[in-house]
Amino acid sequence: MALIAVSGFSAFVAEAQPVTTLPNPVVQPASAPAPVNTLMKLSWDSTLKETSPKPGQPTADFVFNVKNGSSEEIIIDHVQTSCGCTVAKLPSQPWKLTPGTNGQVNVTVNLAGKQGTFYKTVFVYATNGQKIDLNLKVNMPENPEMSRLRNQQLAMADHQSVFKGDCARCHVDPAKGLMGAPLYAKACGICHEAYPRDSKVTNLHAMSHPTNLDFWKQIIANGKQNTMMPGFSSAAGGPLTEGQVDSLVVYCYENFTTVATPGKLPGQITPTEPPPSPATALPPPVPSLYPARSPGVPLPPPLPSPIKN
């Protein structure tokens, strides 16, 4: 009886155990091979080219050299540019490059209306839609008139700006260590002797008012506000020593002073005015043939004529 009970309990337990069903294994599809960039197999001499055209040059021309160094043919379907002013030409379209062959892509950029530094791009496409970028950099020469106008505007806003930044190459460096006439030529003549000379720059050869040493000292050392005339002295933020400033004062006084008005050059010299030209002596008056007379006294009879009939 006990055996039957145990057997029955075992059968009950066996029926109560859940049946575990294992899932079918998921088979992952094989990964597709990554597409090969055909254009990357091309060997370019460069993918970035730069040029600095000369003033007045109408176009900037570039040549990109390329070689197929692979063991298979590469087909370039077409090229496209980033702007209508840029034209790229293939030897043929489509262009087939067999293994080991090379060729050129010619690019022209129209420079009309361009200024400063700018970039253009040429997109090269293969038949499978892959592309590579060829980049262009053009450094346009600045228009001299535009450069001059910009510098004038800077000088009007801050007349000491000519001694700063890029301007210092022309207004500071050439004048180092010079005195007198050579200093004038490098520090002053760049503006005052320029041809054509800007109308805002004083013509020192036609001064319209009297000057003296004090005038030249003030204008050269400290400049003039609301004009483009800077102060050249170190105290005013200029590049010249006191000795250099004084040498310019003397030079300008001796060469550009229209009306001699004495003045003293502090700490250096006290020039004297050139001696005035001696007055031209007048000849002695011719004695009158008639003696002096009082009002109301009749004239004496005329002298006899020296000419006889």
pLDDT digits (tens, 9 = 90+) for 71-91: 889 999 999 999 899 999 999
What is the number of domains present in the chain?
A: 2
The strand pairing partners of 63, in sequence order, are: 106
Q: Which of 100, 119, 139 is the last residue of a domain?
A: 139
The answer on pLDDT for 227 being more than 50 is: yes
- Top pLDDT among 147 and 12 is at 147
Give residue 243's pLDDT. 93
Alpha-carbon span 48 to 46, nearest angstrom: 5
Q: Is residue 278 included in any domain, yes or no?
A: no
What is the number of other CB atoms lying within 10 angstroms of the CB of residue 40?
Answer: 11
Domain boundary among 236, 256, 276: 256
Within-domain flag for 92: yes
**199 and 250 co-located in one domain:** yes
**Which residues, 6+ apart, have CB-to-CB distance to 261 below 8 Å?**
210, 211, 212
Confidence of residue 260 (pLDDT cuts 50, 70, 90): very low
The answer on 229 and 187 residing in a single domain is yes
pTM flag (> 0.85): no
Domain that holds residue 122: 38-139
Let me know whether 156 and 125 are in one domain. no
Q: How many Å apart are CA 187 and CA 193, to the nearest integer?
A: 11
Residue 68: the pLDDT is 92
Question: pLDDT tens digits for 124-136?
Answer: 998 777 889 999 9
Which of 139, 156, 179 is the C-terminal boundary of a domain? 139
Residue 175 is assigned to a structural domain of this protein:
yes
Same domain, 132 and 155: no
Q: For residues 168 and 236, state if they share a domain.
A: yes
Residues with Cβ within 8 Å of 297's Cβ and at least 6 positions away in sequence, in order, are none
User: Across residues 137-142, what is the average pLDDT?
Assistant: 89
> Structure tokens of 277?
């030209």
Same domain for 115 and 168? no
Q: What is the largest CA-CA distance in the chain?
A: 211
Question: What is the rounded CA–CA span in Å between residue 26 and residue 24?
Answer: 6
Q: Which helix (H) or strand (E) holds 10?
A: helix 2-16
